[in-house]
A and B are shown apart, each in its own frame.
Chain A
Amino acid sequence: MIFDSLITPFTSNGFMVNALAAGLLVAVACGIVGTFMVLRGLAFIGDALAHGVLPGVALAMLLGVPGMVGAAVGAAAMIAGIGFITRRSRLSGDTAVGLLFVGMLALGVAIVSRSGAFSGDLVRILFGEILGVTYAGLLAQALATAVIVAVAYTCRRPFLLLCYDPEQADTSGFSSRLFQGVMLALIALTVVVSFRTVGTLLVFGMLLAPAATAALFSRRLGTMIALASGIGATSVYAGLLLSYYANIAAGSSIILVATLFFVGALIVRRPRGLAHGRGAAKREPKSSAARTSSSVREGATS
């Protein structure tokens, strides 16, 4: 039975249930944080953060401290470093970020290479061990996802203003610097907590791919977050199944599915503003075609 083969891997293997639960929590966290990251144009900083935690994690493993503590220190150092370089030099933000990104990656690999078990540790950090998630790890992931939901809900107005125009945030009484910091902290939290499940390299895929796919279809912020979380969750489920049957690494297969969703979406639908239908809507905003297309797209939420 096809139906059985879609369910059995999870009912007969405890580790698959844990992996699914952890993956779904990661999907929700990444759907929310990834949406704001994509809309605010922080993808590169997110990528750098994801790599910046590597030396922290490696050092923590070397010292026998929990890896998550090391990851948090690495992320904090990364955010502080980006701020420092951008302020002290006249370099643009992406140059500062890029420089720190490779520097931290090199430092991480250098530390890991000293620890003896080089390749095994590095692969574990970069690609995670979603099939080996413990209850403690699951609890930490649940807690982090709850914090992310609560903070993102509380900060939805300043976050939206920040994505729209940082000056509008400032003139509306929300410090753009403060809330940009909060947004970066949420990205860091997502990366730090998810490094055990999907790994530091792949968590970036979960932040980016579902949000980017959702951006192609969404006309409202809430829709985009819900869609991104849904696409992420579907990727986790399908990826785990793929991993089970095709015997490939679970983290990678999840990200592969998420990326395929994006490519598929690109093929199915042209980017917003380029499709023929939108051109018609621009000239005649009240045309029935435009009404229908937007009501179909937003039907689920309005």
Chain B
Amino acid sequence: MTPFSHGQPCGLAVEAHSLSVGYGETVVIATLEFVLERGRVLTLVGANGSGKTTLLKAIAGLLPPISGALRVLGAVPGASPTRVAYLGQFHPSGFILPLRAIDVVRMARFARLGLLGQGSREDERAVERSMEIMGVLDLRDEPLDTLSGGQRQRVLIAQALARGAELLLLDEPAASLDRGARETYRRVVRDVASAGCSAVVATHDLEEAACSDKALLLAQRVVAFGAPREVLTAEALLSTFGIVARHGEGGVLMIEHDHGCDGDRSMP
């Protein structure tokens, strides 16, 4: 029997029980245990190699769980492409394609349109509205390969929004954004949540994590899970990143520690 005996949508965006995720038979994070209610934002916080991307891919249905149970919007991961939008961190070959910015955002609607469906006014409105929100509507006819890194990233966030999904899965979406764009992005995520949708965001940015509803601190294991003000403690961050920096009167205080992501590190 699964832990999800109800089977019906039960107000949870993501539900993980005894979940282990990884590649092939290599476990990256074992025995994850968390739930995300709808209308809430969860940030995944951790250093490189801590398992943030792996977990996001599992939720997106790109990696089958190694063991345990994972439900996304009340179904198995990947079951409802129109209801989940995924923005990955790596874009293998996308930028050599002969595409304009708006063509990239339009791809978000392909999940709804299927193979032969005709694009409607509603699709076009969703595309333009998302580009407007991210401030890239001016760039609609610009070829993708002429955009700067930050402009591209805003186009890609617009693409994720244009899906009209109930759950956004974003992998370090704000990493290459300038301060203004980052503010826009944070406001968008808050708006998405207040509209009843949910988001899971992988981030290095503790400020962003502090503004979210729930934070999951990862270091190839769960360091802490809960409300940001409870889990973003110096001790937890030390275990997560192996380093804590604090601005004091005399400058910056740093404490280094083994964070479990680099195998050859020894305890101090």
- Which residues of A are at the interface with B, using a C-beta cutoff of 8 A? 39-41, 154-155, 157-158, 160-161, 163-168, 170-174, 215, 218-221, 223-224, 272-273, 278, 281-282, 285-286, 290, 294
Contacts and interface: CB of A to CB of B under 8 A. Distances in A.
Given A157-B113, A161-B110, A170 B61 contact: yes
B98 A215 contact: yes
Nearest to A39: B97
B78 A167 contact: no
B61 A164 contact: no
Given A164-B107, A224-B98, A172 B81 contact: yes
Nearest to A173: B81
Contacts, number: 106
B23 to A, nearest CB: 13
B150 to A, nearest CB: 11
Given A278-B146, A294-B143, A171 B62 contact: yes
Nearest to B98: A218
B94 A164 contact: yes
Given A160-B107, A161-B107, A290 B96 contact: no
Nearest to A297: B143
Contacts of A165: 88, 91-94
Interface of B: 57, 60-62, 78, 81-82, 84-86, 88, 91-94, 96-100, 103-104, 107, 110-111, 113-116, 138-139, 141-143, 145-148, 151
Contacts of B107: 157, 160-161, 164, 168, 172
A219 B91 contact: no
A41 B95 CA distance: 13
Contacts of A281: 142, 146
B62 A164 contact: no
B98 A221 contact: yes
Given A168-B107, A170-B78, A219 B88 contact: no
Contacts of B143: 219, 272, 294
Contacts of A167: 57, 60, 62, 86, 88
Contacts of A174: 110
5 contacts: A40-B93, A157-B115, A171-B86, A215-B98, A218-B98
Chain A facing B: main interface SS: helix
A285 B146 contact: yes
B240 to A, nearest CB: 26
A158 B113 CA distance: 11
Given A164-B107, A220-B103, A285 B142 contact: yes
Q: Which of B62, B88, B97, B147 has the most CB of A within 10 A?
A: B97
Contacts of A294: 141-143
A173 B107 CA distance: 12
A220 B142 CA distance: 11
B138 A286 contact: yes
Nearest to A225: B98
Nearest to A169: B110
A165 B61 CA distance: 15
A164 B156 CA distance: 12
Contacts of A158: 110, 115
Q: Which of B60, B96, B103 has the most CB of A within 10 A?
A: B96
Given A165-B94, A173-B81, A272-B96, 9 more contacts: A157-B113, A167-B88, A173-B114, A219-B143, A220-B98, A220-B100, A221-B103, A278-B145, A281-B146
Contacts of B78: 170-171
A285 B100 contact: no
Contact of B96 (A39, A157, A168, A282): A39
A51 B146 CA distance: 37
A272 B98 CA distance: 10
Closest A-B pairs by Cβ, 7 of them? A173-B81, A172-B111, A218-B98, A171-B86, A157-B110, A164-B94, A281-B146
Nearest to A221: B98
B98 A223 contact: yes
